[in-house]
Structure 1
């Protein structure tokens, strides 16, 4: 994975401009893009009372990012698999940030058979689900529940930075965010300060938005099958 120039230290103003525009720029409709509401819709997916369960508002929040959740997945996530999902979410601290996960902790927090890994499989429909949900939708739902810990996997961004698969990207981002005494984390915090957003978002979400806006600006496009 190669970080694009937009995240260079000398381009903080350009990154802040992209971030600011995503959350404040009015489109041809006269409204700010719906994705700007994803983080805070219904108080956020990690808010008290909602953090350890999937809610209808979480699925509505995904629609703000252009994701359509099919009926079988809705029933499975909100009803059939709800007890199992709740138990796993309770094992993942709400306030834990990806950059704060130590190398020793990583395997227990995000490694194979960790609660987050098992949730990934459940959301995708791999563990007895009667549905199939793509990697992008799955990552967005996980990011909605744990925005400080789970990065969104977007095929457009992945193409622009040469990222690996959706699950290996967790490890790649963890390595980048913890490198050089968390330099990237501090840089993203400074960029967000300059962006002066209506509401502060997580480090991972700010990074995702900057990379997505930059990829769009550089002409990258997702291809059919990228979400598989």
Structure 2
């Protein structure tokens, strides 16, 4: 994975500009883009009372990012698999940040058969689900529930930075965020400070937005069917 120039220390103002534009720029409709409300819709997916279950508002939040969740997945996430999902979410601390996970802890937090890994497989429909959800939708739903820990995987961004697959990207981002005494985290904090957003978002979400805006600006596009 190669970070683009937009996340270099010399481009903090440029990155802050992209972040500010995403969250505050009014489009031709006269409103800010709907994705700007993903983080805060209905108080956020990690808010008290909602953090350890999938809610209808979480699925609305995904729609704000342009992701349609089909009927079988709606029933599975909100009803059939709800008890199992709730038990796994309870095992993942809401406040845990990816950059704070030590190398020793990683396998238990995000490694194979960890609660996050099992949630990924449930959301995808791999564990008895009667539906199929692609990696982009799945990562966005996980990021909605644990925005400080789980990064969004987007095929357009992945192409622009040479990232791996959706699950291996967790490990790649963990390595980058913890390198050089959390240098990237400090840079992302500075980007948010300069962007002066109406509401502060997680470092992972700020990074995702900056990379998405930069990839779009550089002409990258998601291929049709990437999340089927």
Q: TM-score, normalised by structure 2?
A: 0.99
Check if 1:128 corresponds to 2:128: yes
SS in 2 for 1:160: helix
- Structure 2 CA distance for aligned equivalents of residues 129 and 111 of structure 1: 22
- Runs (5+) with no aligned partner, structure 2: none
Superposition CA RMSD, Å: 0.5
Q: Residue 224 of structure 1: CA displacement?
A: 2.6
- Counterpart for residue 99 of structure 2: 99
**1:83-117 alpha-carbon deviations (Å, 9 max, x no partner):** 00000000000000000000000000000000000
Q: How many residues align?
A: 228
- Counterpart for residue 59 of structure 1: 59
**1:126-162 alpha-carbon deviations (Å, 9 max, x no partner):** 0000000000000000000000000000001001000
- Structure 2 CA distance for aligned equivalents of residues 56 and 227 of structure 1: 21
- Write out aligned runs for 1:111-150 (5 A): 111-150=111-150
Check if 1:83 corresponds to 2:66: no
Q: Residue 227 of structure 1: CA displacement?
A: 2.3
- Counterpart for residue 11 of structure 1: 11
Q: Residue 223 of structure 1: CA displacement?
A: 1.1
- Counterpart for residue 47 of structure 2: 47
- Structure 1 CA distance for aligned equivalents of residues 82 and 125 of structure 2: 13
- Counterpart for residue 192 of structure 2: 192
- Structure 2 CA distance for aligned equivalents of residues 65 and 223 of structure 1: 16
- Structure 1 CA distance for aligned equivalents of residues 81 and 3 of structure 2: 37
